[in-house]
Amino acid sequence: MPDTLPLPVARTIADLRETVSGWKRQGFTVGFVPTMGALHDGHLSLVREAKRRADKVVTSVFVNPTQFAPTEDLDAYPRQEGRDAELLAGAGCDLMYAPAVAEMYPGGVTTTISVGGPAEGLEGAFRPQMFGGVALVVSKLLHQVQPDLAVFGEKDWQQLMVVRRMVRDLDMPVEIVGLPTARDGHGLALSSRNAYLSEAELEIARKLNGVLAEAGIRARDGSVVAAEQWAEGALKAAGFDSVDYVAIRRADDLSVFDGAMDAPARILAAAKIGRTRLIDNMAV
């Protein structure tokens, strides 16, 4: 049976399925929130939304190695299970699923998922291993939990589009819900990696959403390309060390506009301050 911290914790697929199948026998609906832990208010808003929509909520806490490149911060990624469990209990979660890597990938990784469409370009260009790893772990988690719905944050907009497309293409019987990005009082998107920022870097980071908002206005009034170029320059002038991309794309599939915007759009950006890489996006 699941062991307990401040709430029940399942370590194995068998224990997870035993709990979830018991709920379903009682007629309960099940919501699911996948996370890599180091939880903040943005994650907890997803849990609360899942609880609003479903009778029971499972939250996974698993730092997924298949979406990290060898040069990225897998080992340094913050892990704080006890605190995560306390936060989840307060947000209304009913079960934390915290499998070991060996439980998720017994014998290593031999099956992969190739993703295209919304996975191409942007994060897919700068982190080419990421979306294949995300698709694999999300697919596994959805099969393991078998929820009625799963809630994702819109901060990782491209990831949300990739997951929606995968679920549609593979005919998975689950509703994918996107929740608007949770932000601090200055408009900075909440992220576990914000903990890496110094006070001076945090002041710079809080300029990101303002630049994106202004670029969106410029794109509506004129050229998409000119607005992207202005935003890149504005971020560097604000103190960001480098800008991986600023892109205005069609919101639903992230395809490139041919000229002026003629459909709902999203502006997406990735920029670095020191050792911290921030991403953000918003509707245009």
Catalytic residues: 43
Element (H, E) at 223: none
State the Cα angle at 46 between 45 and 47, rounded to 5°: 90
Mapping DSSP to helix (H, G, I), strand (E, B) and coil, where does residue 30 land?
A: strand
Count of C-beta atoms within a 10 Å radius of residue 132: 18
Residue 34's nearest CA partner among 83, 96, 77, 78 is 96
Contact 126, 270 (CB under 8 A): yes
Give residue 268's Cα distance to chain centre: 14
- Helix-helix angle 224-238:208-221, to 10 degrees: 160
180 phi, psi to nearest 5 deg: -55, 150
**Residue in 153, 270, 282, 280 with CA at minimum distance from that of residue 213:** 282
